[in-house]
Structure 1
Amino acid sequence: MPNPLSRRSALLGAAAVAGLALWERPAEAAGAAAFDAARERWVSLLAGGSYDAAYTDKTQAIEGSANAVLRKLKPTPDRPSLWPDLPLDDPRTGNFNRAYNRMRTLALGWATPGTAMHGDRQVAEIAVSALDFLYEHAYHEGLDQQGSNWYWWEIGVPRSLTDTCALLYDGLPQDRLERWLRPLSRWCPDPERRVTHPGVIETGANRAGKAMAVAMRGLLTHDARLIKRARNAVSDLLRTTSGPGDGFYRDGSFIQHGVYPYNGSYGVDYLESVAKLIAMLSGSPWEIPGIGNVYDIVDRSFVPFIFDGLMMDCVRGRQISVQGHRDYHSGQKAVEAILTLLEAAPERHARRWRPLVKGWLTRNQVTPFDTLAPLASIARAKALLEDPSVPVGPRTTGTYVFADMDRIVHRRPTWAYAIAMSSERIGAAEAMNQENLRGWYTGDGMTYLYTGDLTHWNDELWPTIDPYRLPGTTVDTRGRADLAHGAPHLPRTPWAGGVALDGEYGVAAMKLIADGSSLRAKKAWFLLDDAVIALGTGIQASDGRRIETIVENRNTHETHPPLTRGDGWLHLSGVAGYALLDGVEAKVIREQRTGRWRDIDKGATTGGDETPVTRHYTTILLDHGVDPRKARYAYAVLPDASIAQTAAYGRRIKILANSGTAQVIARDNLLAAVFWRAGTVETGHGPLTADGPCTLLVRRDHKRVRLAVSDPSRTADEVKITLPWPVKSVKERDRGVRRTKSAVKVDVGGSRGHARTAVVRV
């Protein structure tokens, strides 16, 4: 097929002759070269810069997808439709958004070096006719939304359309380009404002997505004002917020839609857009100021949630129900963004990130990066993997408390454990656009265990797991209707949060107030170096139904692995041991479960298919009976433990209290406590007292004691902690920590649940 010298090639040659001098002039003086060079940089991020035989498989996959779009293209003006399965007469179906996505796929095949259709004039002419058709019948400035999703009009189509025009630029008539982009002046004129809801100021991923579309329109039409508008909108996003509401918080939390943790979905979309904008405008007259903040955001808000290239589901919100967006898709997008940022990252970040990303790519052989990412990112990943100077970094370890979104992540060298809570500040589960229809309990203390089995969470889990029995939760066994699109469920309690110490230990606690039920419970988790201890107390209900606590519900794929039971313990081969610490017998259910993605997502553009899928599950639960009164539980989860270690574990841990006043454990030189209200607990070394609500970690090393305190209830101004040993002095301390007689006082008012730490001499 013909492949004439393109405007892109000529431009890049001219830019090489001119050198960097063209960037030293302001936009107005630089002229067309500045716009076109930035656009070409964007195209290289999407389609790769030149053909490389090493990526033949990827090139063939891109070509195959583009050819499928081309082969099925059958314009029908009377209906109207470009493809028979996407009629365009009703925008509420979202078909017009899908149609522009297909055009982007076709354009990517045309622009990717090495494909048979690369630069083909006939394919470009077909694309021009198709874009004319879509302008006439699906998306122009005079249309009405007819109640369809605002997102398609203001972000979805603008992003696909501007990408398509950039990719096809060398084969497009200029007058047509301006015509197709004209609707964006109505539907996406300003990254900061929502056209269809004028009172809404865009935040987070939505603003970043709009900024991409506005910037690209500016580059395509040589309008510097649009690029500046996009740049300024993104600059605002790089600042952290103290809330409430959307944005990045200093502790790494990311909130979207007002009350939902979304680092792994909307947050990733934000990071991807910003990283590409930074790369696209780098060195241009429109460089984004203040980009140093984005590097810190990566460390705080994304690295703790990436496990061997997978994004933890506890921060993916309703996207867990979307068949085409699994944890490895979100993880790949985050890795891709970090690889893009690495091109210009300060050395102090790049020095950490290179081994980190190399470790993710090396360990995740289940979902290879080169099957998901664009060519440019694959090339960067390949270069990193082949660089002998960069070691394969180990897994991230540490304990991370995200007080501003009720999430805690505990990471050890071979496993990780995340806890998703909710409160009057953070919604329990989001259902929107008929997505996440059965996510009732995903924010009610659900626990997420990550091990060497990288397929557990992404192997058809969400349509097949029993949604009434999610691990970590205490639930009323009532039947429930699908979650409705509407107001969030915010439990009527401030109690959710925790504290960490030395990056090795943590405490989490939440007061459960069940939705639509009289069920109440106080739940705590103690995160140790080799185990997670879960305590529950005050479990009560009065609706005449059975109450259960789910210790585990494990997807074991195509078989039931060996399960060993002993006196007060169970061991699931390849997963973990489970020690029952209060003598209560556990019930085990081993079953095959069948479901369909369509059961949990009926969204217009995301809805899952009707194909039944089946997986094996081992469920371990504690039955509290019907209408329990002050029931309790105590168990330990021992990831990667052997049978012998599991059988012996009960002797290693001491439960000092499990009451409505306090839940406290001791092991070796560590005390970990939740004080729901003022109280005292005997430790064997002396009493441990708190005069108000708090979570507390105390670690003694001879005469030095390290302690960390927080108030997840956010109701106290200060908390006085009396340790089992008289305090002689405070050696190191955060602001607001002081000695009072032989105790320690901690100012927690206004801390928003964040920790205060100190080192004291006893």
Structure 2
Amino acid sequence: MQLSRRRTLTLMGAGAVATTLPLGPGTMDAAAAEDPYEPLLARAAEQLTGGEVDPDDPDVAAALAALDKQAADWWQKLDRSAGRTALWSDLAPASDPGMFGQSYTRLRTLATAWATPGTSLTDDSTVRDALLDALRFLHTSGYNDARSESGNWWFWEIGAPRALLDTCVLLRAHLPADDRAAYLKTVAKFVPDADRRTNSPTLAETGANRADKAVIVALRGLLAGAPDVVALARDGLSDVRDNGKNSLFQYVTSGDGFYEDGSFVQHSSVAYTGTYGGVLLGSAGQLIALLADSQWSVTDPAVKVLYEAVERSFVPVLFDGVMMDALRGRAISRERARDHTDGAATASYILQLADGAPQSYADRWRSTVKGWILRNRDTPYLRLVGVPALARAKALLADTAVRPAERLTGHHVFADMDRVVHRRPGWSCALSLSSKRIAAYEAGNGENLHGWYTGDGMTYLYDGDDLDAFGDGFWPTVNPYRLPGTTVDTRTRADLGTAPGTDTFRPKNAVAGGAVLASRYGAAAMELIADGSTLRAKKAWFFLDNAVVALGSGITASDGRAVETVVENRNLHADGAPLLTVDDRPQPGDPGWSARLTDARWAHLEGTGGYVFPAGGPLRALREERTGAWRSLNTGADTGGSTTPVTRRYATLWFDHGPSPASASYTYVLLPGATAAATAAWSRSTPVRVLTNSATVQAVESPRLGLLAAHFWAAGSTDGLHADGPGTVLVRRRDDGITVAVSDPGRTGTTLSVELPFPVRHVVRADDTVSVTPGRRPVLTVRVGGSRGHTHTAELA
């Protein structure tokens, strides 16, 4: 899929963010008895324009102005001459799929502005006639049923037909019958159903692609007055054709779709909740709303999987409405679709789905979204969405019965997509891992050219006081060789994804993931087997109430190049100069300052938090001002960035392991939001002890919490805790009992035996995969085989 997974135009009101409330039972009966299609087409049009709105409302007026500005600009640049070869000079020739695909998208924006009250193009007959003529031109010159697919399939089967049919819906009262028939015939050729890839008929559509195609087929059926086609669209959501094999309303255990642990995968191996997952949620939700209370209503009881996905899959990876970049794949390189934009789109889709969902779900979702909207003042939601989404959001904000939810807290291990998210009241930390199962990155069609290390343990720290750390020009300006949390060989890399099509890179390591204890604490690990380098490392992270402890061991390479582990590379924005303090000594704040901190014990960056180094250096520090352009990351036909220079300041801390290190290691602690005084006190008191940091075991202990956490790379012991093979173990001993969590993130074992260092009298509760032998040195035998790296738990006394 290529085009508007980037929902910028959609959110500006030029695309299909559904906002229409499903009509109550019986309200469509009279109209439907006469014409079952027009009421639904009117609903589809309202999904595009927002229907009746108050143009005097400041937020609505701002959204109308934004829509009008874009539409007016394209209207002025539209070539209406008789001998034209393209509708816009920058989208020539019109025969090229990327060019006609984007041309249809612009026509949809023009048609939306024409059909929406309050713009300079509203009901303008000249605009209407020009749109009708432009559709004929594109049909003749580019997209018609006499052609065969070439280039990117997505333009033929999703991008162009969706924008074309949306435009036809808006112009339907003025669209000549012959034109309508010709356009529908073309769409029928390239999108006959939602089930198969037309240019590869043996390939079944899954996930977001299936959802998008189902909407296209439904619109085609409604415009054609073909009941069997509308039914085909509805049945595509549930995959009736293949007995539910690729249903969107199911939990999968491999490949594309939603997993019970909250993971969402697309393209077989990419963690894609933030883009493709959002598109699936939006398109499936739109179709459910579009067909509600009609003879084609979606009645599959398994639709509850989509409802459950809101809180399992989406809510944990949105921080105050910002979609975490660890879940956005190659979309991180899109200038016009940053984390705030994808987050706002997902929030809109959740509110859309809430209109038709059972109240028990909808009430919680509205409360959650209201909290996001009210807390995000850096990039307000109401400025990101267009007219179609505003009415619902404004009603939500005005409803005093809906109380805004506090930030979600807890620890989430998405084992099926190699992602970990740790959430506390003031901050969140996301961990992007990869393995032979889940790709380290996806690139292609000119996108994500510098995504080399985004899946190598990149650590995203989200702070409630700065929601723009990754959204404010981060990707075009950050040093892509120094992403926070990664251990890298400093070799020069070539751009990725410059050829047509998309591709992924899956490393050779098996271990990536971890375990969660009591939904609050966690441990994770990843074996690093670097791409194109001899670099190897054992990396582990331990997530506590106010700290993240990161350990690295066995860092070895033989290529003669320097190897680095990046503690932090913080975006200070265009002119930020927060104070950096190291061991009570303020450091210079000017860009260009650098230092070797041979025995630093702690550091503090004002506005971000603290960093503790229990084992000391060698640590390097740098302040720099970096300039880049989005075009250097993305040259895509429809998503390519601008060449406009972007400059941001950075504060960077890293360990320099030197060239060709042999069994090097590192230890550092992140204290998000901590003051300098609290960081210094933490360093002195060491409330968390590093027990072991070897190539066999990496482990920490928090006596205050009664917590012992370890990742075993092989059979071993630490502080009396023993495991007979590889796995992740967390044990918490309190006065009220003992809780144990175990996982096998490498998925290599059948059983894992864990011996505890203190007595157990009896078992209070245990998963059916856990057997316990109580006694002075109790043993838990955990059947980890087939559990796909998920956590097994027991409660003991």
Q: What TM-score do the two structures reach when normalised by structure 1?
A: 0.94
Find the partner of 2:140 among 107, 113, 136.
Answer: 136
Q: CA deviation at 1:73?
A: 1.5
Q: Which residue of 2 aligns with 1:745?
A: 781
Output the CA distance in 2 between the equivalents of 1:226 and 1:586. Answer: 64
Q: Which residue of 2 aligns with 1:223?
A: 226
Sequence identity (%): 47
Q: Deviations over 1:285-324 (max 9, x none)?
A: 1111232221101111110111111100000000000111
Pair 1:114-2:151 in alignment = no
Find the partner of 1:488 among 504, 513, 517.
Answer: 504
Higher RCO, 1 or 2 (CA under 8 Å, sep at least 6)? Answer: 2
Pair 1:45-2:52 in alignment = no
Q: CA deviation at 1:574?
A: 0.2
Amino acid at match of 1:103: L
Amino acid at match of 2:618: E
Show the 5 A alignment for 1:545-694.
545-557=561-573, 558-566=575-583, 567-650=600-683, 651-667=686-702, 668=704, 669-682=706-719, 687-694=720-727
Q: What secondary structure does 2:310 align onto?
A: helix
Amino acid at match of 1:388: T
Q: What secondary structure does 2:197 align onto?
A: coil
Moved more, 402-411 or 343-352: 343-352
Output the CA distance in 2 between the equivalents of 1:218 and 1:447. Answer: 46
Output the CA distance in 1 between the equivalents of 2:681 and 2:694. Answer: 25
Output the CA distance in 2 between the equivalents of 1:31 and 1:556. Answer: 61
Output the CA distance in 2 between the equivalents of 1:395 and 1:169. Answer: 45
Is the alpha carbon distance of 1:730 and 1:257 closer, same or farther for their aligned partners in structure 2, counting shifts above 3 Å? same
Output the CA distance in 1 between the equivalents of 2:75 and 2:172. Answer: 18
Amino acid at match of 1:662: V
Q: CA deviation at 1:190?
A: 1.4
Show the 5 A alignment for 1:262-411.
262-288=272-298, 289-290=300-301, 291-411=303-423
Contact 2:626 2:648 in 1 (8 A): yes
Output the CA distance in 2 between the equivalents of 1:18 and 1:460. Answer: 51
Q: CA deviation at 1:123?
A: 2.3
Is the alpha carbon distance of 1:117 and 1:609 closer, same or farther for their aligned partners in structure 2, counting shifts above 3 Å? closer
Output the CA distance in 1 between the equivalents of 2:695 and 2:371. Answer: 44
Q: Which residue of 2 aligns with 1:257?
A: 267
Moved more, 590-599 or 121-130: 121-130
Amino acid at match of 2:276: Y
Q: Deviations over 1:340-385 (max 9, x none)?
A: 1111221221221122111100111222222232323211111111
Amino acid at match of 2:496: L
Moved more, 575-584 or 74-83: 74-83
Output the CA distance in 1 between the equivalents of 2:24 and 2:785. Answer: 59
Return structure 1 stretches of 4+ with deviation > 6 angstroms.
15-18
Contact 1:124 1:172 in 2 (8 A): no
Find the partner of 1:244 among 254, 259, 271.
Answer: 254
Q: What secondary structure does 2:553 align onto?
A: strand
Find the partner of 1:536 among 546, 552, 563.
Answer: 552
Q: Which residue of 1 aligns with 2:515?
A: 499
Contact 2:413 2:420 in 1 (8 A): yes
Superposition RMSD in Å: 1.8
Output the CA distance in 2 between the equivalents of 1:446 and 1:253. Answer: 18
Q: CA deviation at 1:77?
A: 5.4
Amino acid at match of 2:711: V
Contact 1:369 1:378 in 2 (8 A): no
Paired residues in the alignment total 736
Output the CA distance in 2 between the equivalents of 1:530 and 1:51. Answer: 45
Q: CA deviation at 1:79?
A: 5.0
Q: Deviations over 1:565-587 (max 9, x none)?
A: 00500000001100001122321
Contact 1:32 1:222 in 2 (8 A): no
Find the partner of 2:739 among 693, 701, 706.
Answer: 706
Is the alpha carbon distance of 1:31 and 1:182 closer, same or farther for their aligned partners in structure 2, counting shifts above 3 Å? farther
Show the 5 A alignment for 1:13-32.
19-22=27-30, 30=32
Amino acid at match of 1:44: E
Q: CA deviation at 1:110?
A: 1.3
Is the alpha carbon distance of 1:284 and 1:571 closer, same or farther for their aligned partners in structure 2, counting shifts above 3 Å? same
Contact 1:564 1:572 in 2 (8 A): yes
Q: Which residue of 1 aligns with 2:11?
A: none
Contact 1:119 1:171 in 2 (8 A): no
What 5-or-longer segments of structure 1 have no aligned partner? 1-11, 24-29
Contact 2:556 2:661 in 1 (8 A): yes
Show the 5 A alignment for 1:422-501.
422-451=434-463, 452-484=465-497, 485=499, 487-501=503-517
Moved more, 638-647 or 31-40: 31-40
Output the CA distance in 1 between the equivalents of 2:751 and 2:604. Answer: 43
Is the alpha carbon distance of 1:17 and 1:431 closer, same or farther for their aligned partners in structure 2, counting shifts above 3 Å? closer
Moved more, 348-357 or 260-269: 348-357
Output the CA distance in 2 between the equivalents of 1:329 and 1:624. Answer: 38
Output the CA distance in 2 between the equivalents of 1:169 and 1:369. Answer: 32
Q: Which residue of 1 aligns with 2:64?
A: 59
Is the alpha carbon distance of 1:677 and 1:113 closer, same or farther for their aligned partners in structure 2, counting shifts above 3 Å? same
Q: What TM-score do the two structures reach when normalised by structure 2?
A: 0.90
Q: What secondary structure does 2:739 align onto?
A: strand
Output the CA distance in 1 between the equivalents of 2:354 and 2:505. Answer: 39
Q: CA deviation at 1:17?
A: 13
Is the alpha carbon distance of 1:702 and 1:51 closer, same or farther for their aligned partners in structure 2, counting shifts above 3 Å? closer
Output the CA distance in 2 between the equivalents of 1:49 and 1:512. Answer: 53
Contact 2:536 2:555 in 1 (8 A): yes
Q: Deviations over 1:713-751 (max 9, x none)?
A: 111111111111122211111111111252111111110
Q: Deviations over 1:365-415 (max 9, x none)?
A: 222222232323211111111111222211111111000010000000000
Q: Deviations over 1:470-521 (max 9, x none)?
A: 0000000100101135653211121111111122111110000000000000
Q: CA deviation at 1:690?
A: 0.8
Q: Deviations over 1:99-142 (max 9, x none)?
A: 10110001101111233433333322221111111111111111
Q: CA deviation at 1:703?
A: 5.6
Output the CA distance in 2 between the equivalents of 1:222 and 1:525. Answer: 57
What 5-or-longer segments of structure 2 have no aligned partner? 1-19, 240-246, 584-599
Contact 2:28 2:39 in 1 (8 A): no
Pair 1:178-2:211 in alignment = no
Q: Which residue of 1 aligns with 2:12?
A: none
Q: Deviations over 1:433-466 (max 9, x none)?
A: 1100110000000000000201111111101000
Q: What secondary structure does 2:372 align onto?
A: helix
Amino acid at match of 2:345: K
Q: Which residue of 2 aligns with 1:722?
A: 755
Contact 1:121 1:171 in 2 (8 A): no
Contact 1:110 1:168 in 2 (8 A): no
Q: CA deviation at 1:82?
A: 1.4
Amino acid at match of 1:277: L
Output the CA distance in 2 between the equivalents of 1:442 and 1:18. Answer: 52
Contact 1:727 1:739 in 2 (8 A): no
Output the CA distance in 2 between the equivalents of 1:318 and 1:748. Answer: 33
Q: What secondary structure does 2:336 align onto?
A: coil
Output the CA distance in 2 between the equivalents of 1:177 and 1:89. Answer: 20
Amino acid at match of 1:292: K
